[in-house]
Amino acid sequence: MRGLVVLGIVLFIGYILLIGAIIIWPIFNILAYLKVLIFPRPIRKKYGTNLLKLNSDSFDIEISEQDKKNINKLKKSIKSNKEKLVADIKLIEDKITTLKSKVANISSKISALGNLKKNNDGSFSQRSNDGKTAYALDSKRQEINSEIYYKESEIEDLKYHNKVRTEDINDEINDIKNKPWDAWYEWSTRYARYLTNKRAIIFMFIGFPVLFLVLGNGSIMAGFNAYVYISYIQPVSELFGIDNFASGFSSYFISYEYAITSLEIFEGTFDFWSWILYVLTMPVLTGLLAYISYKSYIEKSTKVEPKLY
């Protein structure tokens, strides 16, 4: 039982918050529009909202002369790094060539010793003087081959690190080149929000009077009173009684006399489906319009989208 009471309180509070949001959201929407109208974000103030005055090159002003100089410096660093890489590889390759010559020379000396016996592990048998000589030469050859391997690995490491550095520098260059696109992206979202908000407000200014006309059978004032009754007075009076408007929390919003008059006029006129139809129609339609409009304006803004690097 206690759980049901708590659940009922939670549901009612949620309902009050929902209704409060439904009733006052047009006001917040208008205030939000006025804010961005009077105090526009710098990016929207800079580029405006007229697509006819913009093109994909309009955002190139985001790249300063210093940015251009930085790009040239970065490109030069890529070139100098590549030149240094080529020079470093050349030095290592020369050393490898020398080492390979030593290996070939050792191999010739071993071959000149004739057909020598080998152990099971492939090493030369040291039972004879020639075998001992071949064993020593072969050990030296293996050391040089290991050195060749490390030198070749060093070349691969140099290539890899140069590749990473080049990619990092190219990322820096692209970050600068993408400044126009970054500005366009920020502008496009502000552009879409501003015009979407404007369209939603125009829709509300037209939609609410039409809704009130329907509710009031041709009278906007009667429709407004019916809207207040459906959205707030009816559910509160059924749950807490009409006295809630006399001494309860509802008295802070709606007078007792107004609530009584509304009950006398509209009691029994509307049911749950009326609440769904009349109370949620405008928020749902406005939300749907805002969503479609925002997507539409974002799509339109792509006509002036700069290249993304």
Which one is predicted more confidently, 43 or 270? 43
Burial group, residue 53, by CB count within 10 angstroms (0-12, 13-18, 19+) = exposed
Dist. CA 309–CA 306, nearest whole Å: 10
For residue range 59-96, what is the model confidence (pLDDT) as tens digits?
Answer: 999 999 999 999 999 999 999 999 999 999 999 999 99
Dist. CA 40–CA 233, nearest whole Å: 39
pLDDT band at 178 (very low <50, low <70, confident <90, very high): very high
The mean predicted confidence, pLDDT, of the chain is 87
In what helix (H) or strand (E) does residue 105 lie, and over which residues does it extend? helix 65-112
> Which residue from 307, 309, 308, 305 is spatially nearest to 47, judged by alpha carbons?
305
> What's the average model confidence in pLDDT over 243-268?
82
Dist. CA 249–CA 302, nearest whole Å: 51
Q: Residue 183 has what pLDDT?
A: 96
> Encoding tokens for residue 60?
């190139």
For residue range 201-252, what is the model confidence (pLDDT) as tens digits?
Answer: 899 889 889 988 888 888 989 988 888 888 888 877 877 788 878 877 777 7
Phi and psi angles of residue 220, each rounded to the nearest 5 degrees, phi first: -65, -40
Phi and psi angles of residue 255, each rounded to the nearest 5 degrees, phi first: -70, 155
Whether this prediction's pTM lies above 0.75 is answered by no
Q: Residue 105 has what pLDDT?
A: 92
For residue range 136-146, what is the model confidence (pLDDT) as tens digits?
Answer: 888 898 999 99
Q: Residue 275 has what pLDDT?
A: 76
Which one is predicted more confidently, 185 or 24? 185
Dist. CA 54–CA 304, nearest whole Å: 6
Terminal alpha carbon distance of the chain: 64
| Residue 118 β-bridge partners | 124
User: How many angstroms separate the Cα of 198 from the Cα of each of 50, 89, 202, 210?
Assistant: 14, 64, 6, 19
DSSP states along 115-157: S--B-TTSPBP-SSHHHHHHHHHHHHHHHHHHHHHHHHHHHHH
Phi and psi angles of residue 122, each rounded to the nearest 5 degrees, phi first: 95, -10
User: How many angstroms separate the Cα of 158 from the Cα of each of 80, 86, 154, 267?
Assistant: 14, 10, 6, 86
User: How many angstroms separate the Cα of 23 from the Cα of each of 66, 267, 292?
Assistant: 52, 21, 23
Q: Count other C-beta atoms under 10 Å from residue 87's C-beta.
A: 10
Domain ranges of the chain: 19-48+180-304, 84-177
Which one is predicted more confidently, 121 or 93? 93
- Please report how many Cα atoms fall inside a 13 Å half-sphere around the Cα of residue 79, on the Cβ side: 6
Burial group, residue 200, by CB count within 10 angstroms (0-12, 13-18, 19+) = buried
Which one is predicted more confidently, 128 or 188? 188
Q: Is 124 helix (H, G, I), strand (E, B) or coil?
A: strand
Task: Please report, to the nearest 10 degrees, the dihedral formed by the alpha carbons of residues 234, 239, 242, 243 taken in order.
Answer: -150
For residue range 9-53, what is the model confidence (pLDDT) as tens digits?
Answer: 666 666 666 665 566 667 777 777 777 778 888 999 899 999 999
Dist. CA 1–CA 37, nearest whole Å: 53
